[in-house]
Structure 1
Amino acid sequence: MLLPLAGGALFFPGLFALCNWWLRRERPRWSDSDRAMVSTRVVSSVQAVLATGSGIIIIRSCRNVLRDRHWLAREYVWFLVPYMIYDIYAMYLCESYRTEDRRHSFTIFRNFLSKNRLMITHHAVILFILVPVTQTLRGELGDFFVGCIFTAELSTPFVSLGRILIQFKQQHTLLYKVNGILTLTTFLACRILLFPYMYWSYGQLQELSLYQVPFHIPFFCNVANAFLIAPQIYWFSLLCKKAFRLFDAPPAKKDD
């Protein structure tokens, strides 16, 4: 427990500081806001790759989706805890850099809470509910499903790249459009269809159909999954709206 906690506490802030330092040298004309935003997105993408890789290893190792064990299912959660705390601070730091008048720190903090309340709530649920559930309350069961939840991070690098391209006004590029398609595809597969897949996997073990599974698992499991998938559906709807505006926009007129 202590080793992955300490590792995460050093790794994620350290990677952010390293990216910020490198950008300060290589992109001296960039603003502090640009450097902080890009550094934050790089760290988020690295965490997503680590989480997805851990999830795939766990899934492939657990033949019995209920009882098979893998050490990453517990250890990576402890490694993830410092990241959640760091990420909240990194989001606040980006908000403070975007604010021209930095003297009114309370105003900055209030704006930060207002703009990011869903994401902050998401992080708080992970820290105060999912961590105790995965590390203590579930006992010796369900490493496979923890691995599945880890793979939900697969879409994060594409979301991060999209935010960077928007920051530098590159929405008109082919890269932005291709990245948008990949964002929608990975988000749908790994953050929404993931839940029916987990129900189906449990059903295969217990010889149940997909529709029977919700009635054969504890009620709180259904409630927890509902709370997890609800914000994902909301975020996916926002992504779809952005994609529709992008591809529905009329082409720019060429000069005669």
Structure 2
Amino acid sequence: MWHVLAAGSLFFPGLYLLCSRCARRTLPQWTEADCSLLSTRIVSSVQGVLAASSGIIVITACKDVKFDRHWLATAYIWFIIPYMVYDIYAMYLRHWYRCHDKQIMNGKDHFSTAMNSLLRKDFLMLVHHVVILTILVPIGLFLRRDIGDFFVGCLYVAEMSTPFVSLGKVLIQMNLQNSLLHKVNGALVLISFFLCRICLFPFMYYAYSQQYGIPLYKVPFSIPLHCNIANASIMAPQIYWFWLICKKALRLYRGPARSGKDR
């Protein structure tokens, strides 16, 4: 699968550079920071579509939720490794531009100031990426003993909400936060996030219960403890982020949003 890893290493940074160049040409009034921000959101959306599509293919192909195999379940893990590395750098780059625009950096403090901003404001997302790279990826590739492709596919489907989240941020960046499109997209963010990131975990337990003919409430006691711990660890930040999305949705539908670009 090294060729898949190499393909991802070329695809995601290459797509970012292509989007950034196109944005600079088509939107000359935008700053470098604006073009970079738009490009990262496009790349995130593309990755979300690819991951969700792969997940749907795997789920529909695996009739036995424990033992059936599909090559995409493992292949996409290799493909997502470079994306996670790229996205960590993209997060840092966003904070670098933010600090630069606020003119709070001097020649010696570019890296440290941007890193401090990243750790303060995006710490949970950074931890999320690091955990995926250091824990979930090794489990998915080497420790799960070639079983559970169905559940790997379910985790890919969680990315279905990403394009809607990214579109919402792009609309704010384009000063369209008061538009009907932004409100409709906000509803789609809530629905897709709830279904694909919150309901996803009960669905996996339900699928297991149907496969082995046991009541749903007995499933947590019928699978290894580490599976329950892993599911809870993945679900916990999803609940927190969904709570944040609900708070933003209340502000969106209660009154006009603030104008100005989202940095």
- TM-score of the aligned structures, taking structure 2 as reference length: 0.93
Q: What is the letter of the counterpart of residue 45 of structure 2?
A: S
Choose which of 194, 197, 212 in structure 1 pairs with 2:203. 197
CA distance in 2, matches of 1:61, 1:85: 29
Secondary structure in 2 matching 1:212: helix
Q: Is the 8 A contact 2:178 2:256 kept in 1?
A: no
Unaligned 5+ residue runs, structure 1?
252-256
Q: How does 1:27-106 map to 2 (within 5 A)?
A: 27-99=27-99, 100=101, 101=103, 102=105, 103=107, 104-105=109-110, 106=112
Residues 179-220 of structure 1: CA deviation (Å, up to 9, x unaligned): 000000000000000000000000111111111100100011
Q: CA deviation at 1:168?
A: 2.4
Q: What is the letter of the counterpart of residue 94 of structure 1?
A: R
Identify the residue that residue 120 of structure 1 maps to in structure 2.
126
CA distance in 1, matches of 2:249, 2:26: 32
CA distance in 2, matches of 1:231, 1:59: 23
Q: CA deviation at 1:249?
A: 2.1
- TM-score of the aligned structures, taking structure 1 as reference length: 0.96
CA distance in 2, matches of 1:108, 1:45: 24
Q: CA deviation at 1:169?
A: 2.3
CA distance in 2, matches of 1:231, 1:246: 22
Q: CA deviation at 1:167?
A: 1.9
Q: How does 1:244-255 map to 2 (within 5 A)?
A: 244-249=250-255
Residues 117-170 of structure 1: CA deviation (Å, up to 9, x unaligned): 100000011100101111111102100000000000000000001111122221
Secondary structure in 1 matching 2:13: helix
Segment drifting more, 100-109 vs 187-196? 100-109
Q: What is the letter of the counterpart of residue 136 of structure 1?
A: F
CA distance in 1, matches of 2:76, 2:168: 27
CA distance in 2, matches of 1:219, 1:226: 11
Segment drifting more, 104-113 vs 195-204? 104-113
Choose which of 213, 222, 228 in structure 1 pairs with 2:228. 222
CA distance in 1, matches of 2:256, 2:21: 40
Identify the residue that residue 116 of structure 2 maps to in structure 1.
110
Is residue 2:182 matched to residue 1:176?
Answer: yes
Q: What is the letter of the counterpart of residue 191 of structure 2?
A: T
CA distance in 1, matches of 2:181, 2:3: 39
Secondary structure in 1 matching 2:216: coil
Q: What is the letter of the counterpart of residue 233 of structure 2?
A: F
Q: What is the letter of the counterpart of residue 213 of structure 1?
A: V
Segment drifting more, 191-200 vs 241-250? 241-250
Identify the residue that residue 239 of structure 1 maps to in structure 2.
245
RMSD: 1.2
Regions of 4+ moved over 4 Å: none
Segment drifting more, 192-201 vs 111-120? 111-120
Q: CA deviation at 1:250?
A: 7.2
Identify the residue that residue 160 of structure 2 maps to in structure 1.
154
CA distance in 2, matches of 1:198, 1:76: 20
Is residue 2:25 matched to residue 1:25?
Answer: yes
Q: CA deviation at 1:226?
A: 0.4
CA distance in 2, matches of 1:245, 1:116: 21
Is residue 2:4 matched to residue 1:4?
Answer: yes
Q: CA deviation at 1:108?
A: 1.6
Number of aligned positions between the proteins: 251
CA distance in 1, matches of 2:190, 2:215: 28
Is residue 2:150 matched to residue 1:144?
Answer: yes
Q: What is the letter of the counterpart of residue 74 of structure 1?
A: T
Q: CA deviation at 1:80?
A: 0.3
